[in-house]
Chains A and B, each alone.
Chain A
């Protein structure tokens, strides 16, 4: 064969006549994405991922996998137009791709913890490995395993069967087991020192998480903490009956053990300036939290006997017993309001929460509300304070009844006062727990920008502020939020800081595309066929009378048997092909959006009948590679294209299951499937790997 001259993206080359544009471009090092193409099969040109533009043509795009080069041909294989077309092709394919890349729990976890992985390890009795696995994403399994509000469990598909898997407590179990067996947290080795110095302001979950991952990378990390102990809001905002001093010590001290230096009782802005820290270090992380209490905007709120929730909980954490008397009114509906009210009960007071909406709108975790009610907290829904006054140690709260009006910007129905419904409550103390705000005084001299909500302005992916080299994470960047997000963002910040310190472009921790089958309530009932019900294992708790009189840890932890039984309830959602799925890789590369179109999507339809092969028709992208491999390579033609139009599918004839065909499980189809439409069964794969 002769050679022809071709120009690809302006580069001239010679190649054998009869070659495809794809072959020519690949030779030049262009990475053209392909889904339906396989070197072992005849071309088919269905996916149109490999589309390129022949210059001087009609302006349409042609599939490069099948279009042959001609002498003198000039082709554009990469351009904005082509990338946009590829992105659109992916948007379309994904709009009809019914599958979860990640298990929904992991997707919901702000720290992206490999939940399915650690549950599997617990089932196998490998708790120490499970602890390591969690620490890859979050260094505080014991703490998070006690206090996390569990977005993972809300997303857990098992909710559709009976109840979610008890994911949160499992982290605690893993951590407790590790401590029991090893005496201390087993941490990985740090990389050799880089000589780079990082200062972190704040030893809370975000700051210490960032410190941990930076230290592992070999950087020299110093943390500046205003309070006497580490833990931040995990310590000073959460009462010890939920998260003990011991657990905090175990987990936060471990980070110091790794070589991170923490300067306690050092108030930045007073004892040392942030500016100085910036100058003396190669990078600075602001993780100062949201330590100020929001105002109730109620007349008389600075009367004596009125406290803020964080003030009260902070005192408790420092071992003080605040004098709140025996009748406490708490204002607010979040987890802090609940923590305050339950602590007040433990301090021997009667606690009444005033909340202006109904239970349905209450932001606190439902199980915590239940526990509070169980412990005797009185919650007055649809009630709001309008005036507070105090005299002789008695506080009078004038309240008004509320009703719900139209939904506001947050989607929750707006509370409106009911005229003439005023009433009064007498109390010995009023504690407001309606929110927290960032107190930026100590860091303002760094010149970082603030958002209109008063949080530190930082890129949500890299966490770098508008000042290069200064990063921000945790509550000071997000506004008051849950601990697990602070932990996750701390890790992500460390990733960016490492990039920054290594002279790389700061892009932040890579986020892979994640396909989802949809919200919990929307996924197909077929997903749950054949799953036997198994009750969620209950967490043993202190008996009630003991509970409400001490700050002793209330939850006692799972036994080994309980933990394994619970771990066995995991449905192992997520895709087995997620690591090597071409569809996912390209979706990430081209920044595809599965929700761009919406619309009808193929239904969950899995054929498990065959001993070796599993067909997930719901994930198929109609590239036909399996059909062609079976016909062209194997000569069997077990499958074919069936139907026409949008609902065309690759299946066996007459709706037969794979087991009722001539399929011998050779796997030629599996080898060419670009996604998880057809795979070896997991048990079979494990078997063959051995």
Chain B
């Protein structure tokens, strides 16, 4: 009899949500005579983690919110030979809303196959694209197909991938490099991590096709060190691929060779910029340098080099197998295919989604994501991380395509999409991003090194209630200078979070400066925390957690907060179970 398969989604976020514990528990308890436990990765429904799937007789059912108690029920149902009928997350309204608008090209295998098994990848049609490429097409034809597909770089800048490849193919040099940029540095983005954890072979295969098309014999995946699981799975995948002769010398018995290895980053956001990334691969400080020369002329060790990001490579096998037409069937204006987004922040259903170009931001946030987790109104989404911007809710009919997003002042970016509600302070968000870019500035250029620092100081001043009216003009003036006169993308784009929030949420800045108020109730020096006596039960929980003993009151009687002592840390609000503490 065929065994029932039980899949546990062991992506980093799943593990963080307790999936490893669930796995271990099932592993211990499951009757291996009837059932088989399988590892898979994140299926993208992170809001429902830990996720377990049960497959029997060609039917595969997905369950969410799996804890030990539910695991026991699963075990019982396995023994009974039935499917549990609760916690199913796909067939519900919410599940359908989350999944129905998605088109999975990049994420097709994620959460479905075991990422640590090359056989499963092969079974899912893996390495057919490279075979087809080598068998059916010349390198020039491959480049043409990729060009025809309209695939644009998914790292953020959106340069045409086929064209980039043609530069490398046309470059002179005995040695050429191919780099996969997996230094996913945008805070709030985890597409690349999920893809590498969930389907590493797909990335490898994309690079293989690129190598075949461009003549690059050596490849590097530059992956950030904060992704240990991705690195582990990628290394295993490379080794397995080598063993099966998909990598190394004489690939598939031909004289085509491609050597691939992983280079671990060491924590520097700017290394996502391609010239800095190459410097880092060479073992140097990640200083970006002037382009030209472009990497295709002079890259790693002065050899021609092509750099694409994880998601870009993960699109390749689909394009080769299905053709450019099938790919650009999903198109909107000049953007083709799908885009993976990491949906996070104040969102009901956060996770990893893949949508066709042309879907609107509103459709993503409201339909797929289900609005805010709090039920409060959505205020904005932040797209593109520190280089991107905040798009207000009133512009949620903006479609997902490179040009429309750029027109808002944000950027498509790598796919981080952080949702904010009315309790998110936009000045604080701008300050947050500036603090980030400031810390991550390589320290070389004047405008980025000092300019972003001065912008941060102005923003900090505003959030502390010390802003003066001239600050806004000065901030804008400086932002434009930094944008215009920085060497690399980090500096050029660093002002975006400030400029977009100034553009769309200027009144919030003005409230901080003129009224000395933070409308969202976030900026500590501008808020007061107080107890709503009608709601307070006198349970004393808040008084006990207050680190500065600012809360006093008798048991079972309404408490009060001494505003002079209170540090506005918010611990009491977090602790109160009766909605009795408010920010004013």
Contacts and interface: CB of A to CB of B under 8 A. Distances in A.
A and B touch in the complex (CB under 8 A): yes
Interface of A: 43-49, 51, 59-63, 66-68, 85, 88-89, 92-93, 95-96, 597-600, 621-622, 624, 641, 643-648
A93 B484 contact: no
Given A622-B449, A645-B441, A92 B487 contact: no
B484 A92 contact: no
Contacts, number: 100
A43 B289 CA distance: 10
B443 A644 contact: yes
Contacts of A621: 446
Contact of B443 (A61, A67, A85, A622): A622
Contacts of B492: 60
Given A92-B451, A645-B449, A622 B444 contact: yes
B485 A51 contact: yes
Given A644-B443, A645-B443, 13 more contacts: A46-B446, A60-B484, A60-B485, A61-B484, A88-B447, A92-B451, A93-B450, A96-B450, A597-B474, A597-B478, A598-B457, A600-B457, A622-B444
A600 B461 CA distance: 12
Interface string B251-295: 000000000000000001000000000000000010101101000
Given A95-B450, A599-B457, A646 B443 contact: yes
A63 B442 CA distance: 17
12 contacts: A45-B289, A45-B290, A48-B447, A89-B446, A96-B453, A597-B454, A597-B478, A600-B453, A643-B443, A645-B439, A645-B440, A646-B443
B454 A95 contact: yes
A685 B451 CA distance: 36
Main secondary structure of the interface of A (DSSP, over half): loop
Nearest to A647: B443
B481 interface: yes
B453 A63 contact: no
A231 to B, nearest CB: 47
A624 B446 CA distance: 12
B444 A68 contact: no
Interface in B384-439: 438-439
Given A60-B485, A63-B290, A93-B450, A646 B444 contact: no
B466 to A, nearest CB: 12
Q: Chain B contact residues: over half helix, strand or loop, or mixed? A: helix
B241 interface: no
Interface centre among A48, A61, A648 (most CB of B within 10 A): A48
Interface of B: 268, 285, 287, 289-290, 292, 438-447, 449-454, 457, 474, 478, 481, 483-487, 492
A453 B45 CA distance: 76
Contacts of B483: 60
B446 A48 contact: yes
B453 A644 contact: no
A88 B449 CA distance: 13
A641 B290 contact: no
Given A48-B446, A68-B292, A599 B438 contact: no
A59 B480 CA distance: 11
Nearest to B288: A45
Which residue of A46, A59, A621, A646 has the most chain B CB atoms within 10 A of its CB atom?
A646
A644 B446 contact: no
B143 to A, nearest CB: 25
Given A45-B290, A646-B438, A89 B453 contact: no
Top 3 A-B residue pairs of the complex, sorted by shortest distance between their CB atoms? A648-B443, A92-B450, A646-B453
A169 B161 CA distance: 77
B487 A63 contact: yes
Contacts of B445: 45-48
Contacts of B449: 622, 645-646, 648
Contacts of A645: 438-441, 443, 449, 453
A67 B291 CA distance: 8
Contacts of A89: 446-447, 485
Nearest to A65: B290
A591 B142 CA distance: 57
Contact of B285 (A48, A62, A641, A646): A641
* Residue from B474, B487, B492 whose CB has the most chain A CB atoms within 10 Å: B487
A424 to B, nearest CB: 49
Contacts of B446: 46-49, 89, 92-93, 621-622
A88 to B, nearest CB: 5
A92 B481 CA distance: 11
Contacts of B478: 88, 597
Nearest to B453: A646
Contacts of B481: 85, 88
Contacts of B438: 645-646
B443 A92 contact: no
Contacts of B292: 68
A92 B452 CA distance: 10
Nearest to B484: A60
Contacts of A51: 485
B166 to A, nearest CB: 20
Nearest to A70: B292
A95 B445 CA distance: 14
Contacts of A48: 445-447, 485-487
Contacts of A45: 289-290, 444-445, 487
Contacts of B487: 45, 48, 63
Given A85-B481, A95-B450, A644 B290 contact: no
Chain A CB within 10 A, most for which of B478, B481, B483, B492 = B481
A146 to B, nearest CB: 45
Contacts of A646: 438, 441, 443, 449-450, 452-453
B482 to A, nearest CB: 9
A85 B441 contact: no
A644 B439 contact: yes
A44 B289 CA distance: 8
A88 B454 CA distance: 12
A44 B487 CA distance: 11
Contacts of B444: 44-46, 622, 624, 641, 648
A61 B454 contact: no
Contacts of B454: 92, 95, 597, 599
The residue in A46, A47, A51 that gathers the most chain B C-beta atoms within 10 A of its C-beta is A46
Contacts of B474: 597
Nearest to A89: B446
B289 to A, nearest CB: 7
Contact of A66 (B290, B441, B450, B486): B290
Contacts of B486: 48
A59 B481 CA distance: 11
Nearest to A45: B290
B293 to A, nearest CB: 9
B269 to A, nearest CB: 10
Nearest to B269: A644
A93 B457 CA distance: 16
Contacts of B447: 48, 88-89, 92
Of B438, B446, B485, B492, the most chain A CB neighbours within 10 A belong to B446
Contacts of A66: 290
A599 B459 CA distance: 12
Interface centre among A51, A63, A67, A599 (most CB of B within 10 A): A599
A598 B456 CA distance: 12
Nearest to A35: B446
Nearest to B444: A46
A95 B455 CA distance: 13
A243 B452 CA distance: 56
A44 B446 CA distance: 12
Contacts of B289: 45
Nearest to B454: A597
Given A46-B446, A47-B446, A92-B454, A644 B441 contact: yes
Residue with the greatest number of chain B CB neighbours at <10 A, chosen from A51, A644, A645, A648:
A644
A228 B478 CA distance: 60
Contacts of B485: 48, 51, 60-61, 85, 88-89
Nearest to B452: A646
